[in-house]
Amino acid sequence: MVTRTGPLTKNADTVALGLFQIRVGSSSDNIANIGVQLNSTNSIGALASTKFMGNKEYWELFSGFPQLKDKTLTIKEEAAVECEFKELQPFNLYLALGKDPVTDSQSETISGEIPLGDVTAPAYVRMEAVYTYPDATSTCSIIFPRAQVTSAVEMDFQETDNVNVPITFTANRADSGISGGNAVWDSKPYGHILFAS
């Protein structure tokens, strides 16, 4: 037997390859549901990239001379999913502008109008990023029950490549302590990452 060293694979079935499918639905209609509620018909379509970001800010206590660190405390936490969509149509562009394309019944075809200069707070939507492992059965799903789209819209048209429009879904509190929330999210106010096989 050959001796091997280094970071050897423990379970090859858990290696992720590919992109999340991004699904968007009504936040208010699904606020009491903690599992995956949306399906492929709620997908925003083909994507160029997907990325989850869990950012934290820390406060650190130092004492003595020279100062040495005694303790670190988390003082701020954020969660977001970034992606770039390929399918340029009213539903996706309306969503990228911070509107709710589900409630406002935006088209998924090349038909409709997108108003500009209508400045309002970003709408709340339910965002589910569903990754399916190569076994075609196991999934890893990121669920933001009360997300807002908070990205600047850029459409970079190229001569020999498709447009990839960046969009960022930011998680917001969905617990019972906030209007529009629900008690099912009290222990996980931003949502959760759910594994299933």
Residue 147 has pLDDT above 90, yes or no: yes
5 forms beta bridges with none
Q: Maximum distance among all alpha carbons in the chain?
A: 68
Is residue 167 within 8 Å of residue 94, measured between CB atoms?
A: no
Q: Per-residue pLDDT averaged across 88-108, rounded? A: 96
pLDDT in tens, 154-175: 999 999 999 999 999 999 999 9
All domains of the chain in start order, with CATH: 15-56+70-196 (2.30.110)
Q: Does residue 103 have a pLDDT over 80?
A: yes
Looking at residue 2, what is its pLDDT? 80
Taking only the tens place, the pLDDT of each residue in 15-61 is 999 999 999 999 999 999 999 999 999 999 999 999 999 999 999 99
pLDDT for 1 beyond 80: no
Give the DSSP letter string of 22-72: EEEEEHHHHTT--S----GGGB---EEEEEEEEEEEEEEEEETTTTEEEEE
Cβ neighbors of 126 (< 8 A, separation 6 or more) are 24, 25, 26, 27, 30, 31, 37, 38, 143, 144, 145, 146, 147
Q: Output phi, psi for 71, to 5 deg.
A: -160, 150
Give Cβ neighbours of residue 6 (< 8 Å, ≥ 6 apart): none
pTM value > 0.75: yes
